[in-house]
Amino acid sequence: MKGIKKISEQARESLTQFLEVVEGNESFLNGAILDMKKRLTEAKELVATAIAEEQRLKRAYQEAVDAAKVWENKADTAEQEGNQVRVSEARQRTQHYMARADDYKHQIDAQAAVVARLKSALHEFYQQFRDAAEQAEELHQRQKQAETRTELYRVLSDEVANGVSEVLERTEQKLKTTEAKAEILEGKSRQTTTRTEMTEGSLDLDQALAELKDDVLGSGRR
């Protein structure tokens, strides 16, 4: 009884530590569950031993009862034969085994009470173990979910977004610089074209005046 009581107390202590553990400390959780599982195995063995002892007492009780009946029959037979010595001896043996049977009966009742308490403690311990295992699984699942969320928000974090914004801003600034250079070059190209057109226009006018002069002079000669 002391053994399983100690195990039960240790289980409660382990369960308290388990419930207070920081989420994500998977190694501690596994260790606590394994420790409780080991204690559960030890507790089962203790209960099995107590049950075995109860069964042994029941067998001893039955053997004593059977022996008492045997000697009672012998006493009856000796009495029929008129052998008082054998009758007295058989009666004494009968009383002896009946007393032993009564003693075993008391031991059986006491042992049955012990077994009942052990079974109750074992059942309580098993419930604690099962609840702890289920909670460990839940915490493990929540840890995986938290890690997934952390990784997702790390990928989508402001730092990454700011980095993209900076790249876009630099790209836009570079584009504006390139566009400005293009406009300057385009302006210069337009000025060159205008000057060329003006020069060509001036040459055409001079040629037209020369041709007109030739026509006028030619008419005067005629």
Q: Specify the pLDDT at position 24.
A: 46
Burial classification of residue 122, based on how many CB atoms lie within 10 Å of its CB (0-12 exposed, 13-18 middle, 19 or more buried)? buried
Within-domain flag for 84: yes
Same domain, residue pair 116 and 214: no
Q: Containing domain of residue 29, as a range?
A: 2-156
Instruction: Name the band, by pLDDT with cuts 50, 70 and 90, for residue 67.
Output: very high
Q: Specify the pLDDT at position 17.
A: 54
State the total domains in the chain.
2
CB count in 10 Å sphere of residue 63: 14
CATH code of the domain in which 75 resides: 1.10.287
pTM score: 0.53
Same domain, residue pair 98 and 202: no
Same domain, residue pair 144 and 181: no
* Mean pLDDT lowest among 9-23, 115-129, 164-178, 192-206: 9-23
pLDDT over threshold 70, residue 122:
yes
Same domain, residue pair 56 and 142: yes
Within-domain flag for 166: no
Within-domain flag for 58: yes
Q: Specify the pLDDT at position 203.
A: 53
Domain boundary among 156, 189, 207: 156
Same domain, residue pair 188 and 80: no
Within-domain flag for 164: no
- Residues 11-28 have a mean pLDDT of 52
The span from the CA of 39 to the CA of 49, in Å, is: 15
Same domain, residue pair 56 and 102: yes
